[in-house]
Structure 1
């Protein structure tokens, strides 16, 4: 009687052969992330500290915020309009894992990514960083290990970068549960995740050696065994935060249609920069940038903000996220969503002081990230990582049920382009 071997695990030799490239790709992915962020930090220091100090200007003043963001929009728009590669693919049309860009697009992608991160644009680094690393490593591996397929290189590069970004290889494993079925050849889930997990581990360790975790770990007192009141509070905060995230999701395509209706990237990205400048003036420095360090600042200084102040900050940051994502800036949406979720949790604590802070923040982050990222695994994971308390996980697992019912009926925060080359400035290729 014949035995069906179509779903057997790959040979041990295959795993061992791929481990070395996976480790190296994961480590190089973390180095790429570190290099880009260090360059962005250097430009940020120039724009927000060195120049204002030299000119005796307060960098928190409204006109400086407006000027820097508007200038960032103008320069990024010109790069997208005229530079070779046009700054890579529009992030509004791109998921975390996408086909690799041509190497010719890498310099302009690097330029617009650094300028966006340094200029205070309300987007995170995840989408352009993964695209940057993927383009380079696909070309590099093709020369060093030509027998490794492009699809696998894309997967392990994305895994290594996600591990470096979120500070643990588990993040990559959770993300890839949704895409791993794309592999050919069958096999158990663990066998399909094994090599990406190795790359994610290498990326995580390398990034922690270089710069520590990207998301701050708040380290609140442990929740312990959640009670009925905690469950009710968690459900309420999560649903309210989910509605906030859904507001961005529903407005996003209309904003994208408006900006891109102007057709010229130099025009609509510059206009987006000016709008972000106005929002930055209204919201102040805490609403600028991707939101990771600003989130820590918000938590540390929560006593300085009333519930009304926090609601206003949420409104400004939500608008900034939508404008930045819709107006052609290159960047991801997860980090700003985490900031907005943090602010939503703080609003809940300001209104109902008896809610445990860690629970409120975890539920707020879960609620906003879920519709923005459209990924329950990553929303749960980030909420637990930021709070640093596994005790909130049971409440989050219950609260995500009604939240997902809302999200599953909503559109994605993603513009589906008709084809990869339909729009100017979106060059992709093997």
Structure 2
């Protein structure tokens, strides 16, 4: 009966083959350009970070990550970013708490201030990633230039190409972009096959990922002890670790609009950003320097020695990092929310291993990252992909899918860590 129904169902019309090839060259150009911009901003921020956190304290005879220097640097970063938001034309773009991976097309005059604020944030230590502002910066020139140079292509195509290219460049693979696009298209009435709609963005994502791989050689693999073939011992651990990690992430999600509202009541960016910078410095003093910055470089240190920390030490790292992420994301620093959440999940998973040594560290990390990202992003495919990539163990994907079910039941229908323009949470 099902076979007969399938035979009677009309086949979805495929896009003509001649409609897709014209997308290839624009997608390649956008992909390479988006990747080079990401690499350039990241390299500039890294050099500035070395000056601020190594050369300068060494010259002054102050400990690089002493309490004094963390308080000074985080507060100074708040002052500098506050000046950009206050004085630079465009005020560094819209409120970052309202921005996600699907960035609006910003006026060109906004972009220099947004880039400057992002670079200062990345170098200064607030717990945010580069993804949201870099996507916004890449979308704007792709839209404005593409719409004028190739008028036959709709403006929305250029934005989709830039978003996919930046995601591919950020993760070093077009798979992440494909998963994000698929989730974005899931609720729409599509004409034709899904692959026709993702063809151009996948070309852009592939070009962005390949450019990043060739130029910067990124790696998400934490080089944890290999897990091998998951045995029966992983079955009870998988659904036990992911939901508590998701619950921890939901604590920050539910507090997000209230902390953001407190920031908005302070009004002037030169009051809110330096004040919250001081708070971030105090949190850094409590949790240590690994709770600073976007988190991708910092997670490598505990991952190198998963048995060298106590369960309490990992728990403190996870809670402080999440608090720092909540403060930074709500007070006006320009940045994204994915990469800091990864460190929270890694610390949570390693803490589960320290508490229960029978839990393999790679399994704990994968489940901790899965649960935290589900709560913060509400993007299941990206959460699964990121968790699997970090432990570099394809065999763990079945356990991740199994563990995602109870974690998803916990987070579905609840607010995301993103707000509307009026400050109300998005579900």
- Structure-2-length-normalised TM-score: 0.94
What are structure 1's unaligned runs of at least 5 residues? Answer: 420-430
1:61 aligns with 2:93: no
Equivalent in 164, 171, 196 of residue 169 of structure 2: 164
Residue 213 of structure 1: how far off its partner (Å): 2.1
**1:83 is matched with which residue?**
88
1:183-198 matches, within 5 Å, as 186-198=191-203
Pair 182,143 (structure 1): closer, same or farther in 2 beyond 3 Å: farther
**1:307 is matched with which residue?**
311
Contact 2:224 2:304 in 1 (8 A): no
**1:322 is matched with which residue?**
326
Contact 1:6 1:186 in 2 (8 A): no
1:19-418 matches, within 5 Å, as 19-180=24-185, 186-213=191-218, 215-218=220-223, 220-224=225-229, 226-418=230-422
C-alpha distance in 2, partners of 1:63/1:194?
52
Pair 214,101 (structure 1): closer, same or farther in 2 beyond 3 Å: farther
Q: Tell me how large the CA RMSD over aligned residues is.
A: 1.8
Matched length: 415
Residue 231 of structure 1: how far off its partner (Å): 1.2
Residue 333 of structure 1: how far off its partner (Å): 0.7
List per-residue Cα deviations over 1:167-197 (Å, max 9, x = no partner).
Answer: 1101000001122368887111111111111
Residue 61 of structure 1: how far off its partner (Å): 0.7
Residue 327 of structure 1: how far off its partner (Å): 0.5
Residue 303 of structure 1: how far off its partner (Å): 3.2
C-alpha distance in 2, partners of 1:287/1:162?
24
Residue 214 of structure 1: how far off its partner (Å): 5.7
Q: Which moved more, 1:171-180 or 1:299-308?
A: 299-308
C-alpha distance in 1, partners of 2:388/2:217?
18
Residue 151 of structure 1: how far off its partner (Å): 0.7
C-alpha distance in 2, partners of 1:66/1:199?
41
Pair 30,154 (structure 1): closer, same or farther in 2 beyond 3 Å: same
C-alpha distance in 1, partners of 2:153/2:201?
13
Pair 296,277 (structure 1): closer, same or farther in 2 beyond 3 Å: same
Per chain length, whose mean CA-contact separation is higher, i.e. which structure has more relative contact order (CA < 8 Å, sep 6+)? 1
C-alpha distance in 2, partners of 1:183/1:241?
31
List per-residue Cα deviations over 1:41-74 (Å, max 9, x = no partner).
Answer: 1111110111112222211111101100000011
Residue 394 of structure 1: how far off its partner (Å): 0.6
Residue 5 of structure 1: how far off its partner (Å): 9.8
C-alpha distance in 2, partners of 1:249/1:212?
33
List per-residue Cα deviations over 1:62-101 (Å, max 9, x = no partner).
Answer: 1101100000011111211221111112221011012211
C-alpha distance in 2, partners of 1:169/1:269?
35
C-alpha distance in 1, partners of 2:100/2:77?
24
Find runs of 4+ consecutive structure 1 residues off by over 4 angstroms.
Answer: 4-7, 181-185
Residue 147 of structure 1: how far off its partner (Å): 2.1
Q: Which moved more, 1:54-63 or 1:196-205?
A: 54-63
Contact 2:46 2:123 in 1 (8 A): yes
What are structure 2's unaligned runs of at least 5 residues? Answer: 1-8
Contact 1:342 1:364 in 2 (8 A): yes
